[in-house]
Structure 1
């Protein structure tokens, strides 16, 4: 029996948070696994809006440089949280008595990575709906965006189903689970030549 909530609850959390955070201060009222999901989702939310700023034609070089540093930090935190979600699943599998699965098939992406993709999809759906419903949009714009919303909803449903299948397989001992360390190089002062080279 899995202690990971159903994927439908995870995706609803993400959808609800996107809506709420656009109208209220960012908060994380959840506990346990959902708290990790919400925290990971927050970094995607912040990233989305920082990237909007970076693409603004009104942003000067100083503003873009500041935003770029913020994006790098947020992206590192986002990836760290993917790992923490997968680590949490490892613990839950052990607590659930799932034995050695090292000889079993492994998915092309982890559950944490799929949760990250669903987080981004919830942001995309929210902002596409916002664009579709703009008061100044013409019919052609609305039709184009509505078609994209429909496609995103299909992709969201497909990924949700695939993730639920993966989680079910993991806790039934039919698939192997691993946490894949992201090992980002750009934020490591010992690995990025532009950082360590500047100290010479």
Structure 2
């Protein structure tokens, strides 16, 4: 099984599971063992974070939302973004360990993004596919709406094939030494009390 076949299957599992209850505050349970099924565990957690945040973003756009509730939700979104970044770095660390014994060839090149940032895009794409399919099959929507959404869905499905192929190709190239990877910590500044002047108390 190619890596992205597994990833896309897990992402669908996550999104389907979330929508059984379909609330942002539902309890989270990872069905994959963190020690025995490392990458599966990481992929499931990553997509769950993305799925909850997707719905946070829907809620905060309610024009009637209470300002205090909106502020609290903004902070939840900020925390979710940090969790998302952390999970990307965990997934890249997994790949680094997988390929630690591969010696890059003399002419090996680096990719524009690490494998896990490609996985991040694939997880978000799974959410786009799910929700666009909902719109394309809505019985209370007009035929024109459903047709327009079906066209968008077709493009998203094509994009998923292309992105999956690109990720699998990158991983294969890394395994052969044709590509090499580095992980740069995101070093986000706005959540750090030492780096954000507002959090330091400066005016």
Give TM-score scaled by structure 2 length: 0.90
2:193 pairs with 1:189: yes
Q: SS where residue 167 of structure 2 aligns? A: helix
- Checking the alignment, whether the CA contact within 8 Å between 1:102 and 1:176 is kept in structure 2 is no
State how far apart, in whole Å, the 1-side matches of 2:171 and 2:104 are. 16
Aligned-pair CA distance for 1:26: 3.7
Change (3 A) 1:32 1:101: farther
SS for the counterpart of 2:179 is coil
Count of residue pairs the alignment pairs up: 194
Residue of structure 1 equivalent to 2:149: 145
On the 8 A contact 1:36/1:84 being kept in 2, the answer is: yes
**Structure 1 stretch 76-85 or stretch 177-186: which is displaced more?**
177-186
Segments of 5+ residues of structure 2 without an aligned counterpart are: 22-26
Q: 5+ residue gaps in structure 1?
A: none
In the TM superposition, what is the alpha-carbon distance from 1:99 to its structure 2 partner?
2.1
1:134 equivalenced with 2:138 (yes/no): yes
Distance in 2 separating the partners of 1:132 and 1:91: 41
RMSD: 1.8
Indicate the SS of the match to 2:185: coil
Partner of 1:115: 119
User: 1:11 matched to which residue of 2?
Assistant: 8
TM-score, normalised to structure 1's length?
Answer: 0.91
- The structure 1 segments of at least 4 consecutive aligned residues displaced by more than 4 Å after TM superposition are 100-103
Q: Does 1:170 align with 2:165?
A: no
**Shift, 1:21, TM fit:** 1.5
Question: 2: CA distance between counterparts of 1:148 and 1:91?
Answer: 38
Give yes or no for the alignment of 1:60 onto 2:66: yes
Greater RCO between the two (CA within 8 Å, min separation 6)? 1
> Post-superposition shift, 1:34?
1.1
The Cα shift of 1:27 comes to: 2.6
Measured after TM superposition, the shift of residue 90 of structure 1 is 0.6
Q: Is the 8 A contact 2:2 2:168 kept in 1?
A: no
